[in-house]
Structure 1
Amino acid sequence: MNSKKSLLAMSILVAGILVAGGCSSTGGSSTSTPAAETQNTAPAPAPAATESAAQTAQDEVNQTLSKDITYGFDKAVLTASDRESLKKDAKVLNANPSVKVVIAGHADERGTDTYNIVLGQKRAKAAMMYLVHMGISKKRIKIVSYGKRSIPGYDTCSDHTESCWQANRIAHFMKITM
């Protein structure tokens, strides 16, 4: 028991010496002058310049990123035109690695809610998998399905016509900045 107390006391003493030794100064003179030290230090970029560059990148993404990929009735297959749009999107996303996207799949009003949710998911996944094929990490893409429901704030056509139904059969892209 007494040896344990001695060992503990010795440990505390050694730790105290190490801490005190780490805080002491050497008292020696510095070999470099303060002026030389400031010459080697690059000035920090101006916050406004950094924010401006980030805003420019975001504007490029907003202008270039596709808004909607369209699908045929009861289909989740990309057309040649859709693949070309997605290739452009992949270039933009590769150039802006901080940008993430949500791809929201939609269906027209025909079909059951359950069927349309699954179909919307397939449509969003088709677009996502093409982007992944083009080198975009899955971690940067989230997919959701709204089925025949619309995204809040995003107007879809409510007429009961073929052109309106076509407008609702989409995968809609939404940018998220992280």
Structure 2
Amino acid sequence: MMRSSRLMLVLVSTSLVLGACKKKPAPAPTPTPTPAPAERAPERTTPRAAPVDTMAAYNEKVAAARLRLLETIYFEYDADELRDDARASLDAKIAILNANPALRVRVAGHCDERGSDEYNIALGRRRAEAAKRYLTDRGIDASRIETSSFGRERPAVQGTTEEAWSKNRRDEFEITAGGENLKPAS
């Protein structure tokens, strides 16, 4: 009996030892998410069109060009030299005139009430000619610009103050031809 107990003990121990040595199954690897295929933007076969101006926006540009073209320039007392602000205004007019080759303008020179009629007519003419010369020196054909002088006959502002007089020493611009199809400067 002792033998059988020993045998039993050996079998139990062997089974325990063998059972303890049994390999545990390796845990299943955690699946790594496969990256989704990169979403590609649809390929463009034609370039994106530039925004198109609406008719209202175009009409606003035309109106702004007309205002700029008709903008008055001013002079110092008893002078026909162009001021810096007058040159800037004339430069803007050049761009509009270049964009509209059929456009013709008249430049009318004006003076304040001081001085004789003859003197003011001559000074108004010199002021108008100064603006014309500036435009023609920068490529505008002289035949597109006519000049006139009103001297002190058409004041913009009534009064005998320096403020009133400064508003009367001016060149005014008028469209004489080509204004119905005016295009804004590019």
Q: TM-score, normalized by length of structure 1?
A: 0.63
- Cα distance in 2 for residues equivalent to 1:57 and 1:144: 29
Whole-Å separation in 1 of the counterparts to 2:161 and 2:86? 23
CA distance in 2, matches of 1:129, 1:143: 11
Larger radius of gyration: 2
Residue identity opposite 1:177 in structure 2: A
Over 3 Å off, 4+ runs: 55-61
In the alignment, structure 1 residue 105 sits paired with structure 2 residue 104: no
Deviations 1:42-82 (A, max 9, x none): xxxxxxxxxxxxx8886454132142110011000001221
Spell out, residue by residue over 1:118-143, the C-alpha distance to the aligned partner (whole angstroms, 9 max, x if none): 00000000000000011110000000
Aligned-pair identity in percent equals 37
Structure 2: tracts of 5 or more residues without a match: 1-58, 179-186
Structure 1 residue aligned with 2:72, among 68, 72, 96? 68
> Residue in 2 aligned with 1:147?
151
Could you give the per-residue CA deviations for residues 119-175 of structure 1, whole angstroms, max 9, x where no partner exists?
A: 00000000000000111100000000000011xxxx611111000000000011111
Q: Is the 8 A contact 1:94 1:136 kept in 2?
A: yes
Would you say the 8 A contact 2:68–2:89 is kept in 1? no
How far the C-alpha of 1:90 sits from its partner, in A, is 0.4
- 2:128 corresponds, among 115, 124, 130, to 124
Aligned to 1:135: 139
Q: Which runs of 5+ in 1 are unaligned?
A: 1-54
Aligned-residue Cα RMSD (Å) equals 2.1
Cα distance in 2, alignment partners of residues 67 and 102 from structure 1: 12
For 1:149 and 1:63, the matched residues in 2 are separated by 24
Residue equivalent to 1:156:
156
Distance in 1, matches of 2:140 and 2:67, equals 19
Q: Which residue of 2 aligns with 1:175?
A: 175
Structure 2 length normalisation: TM-score? 0.61
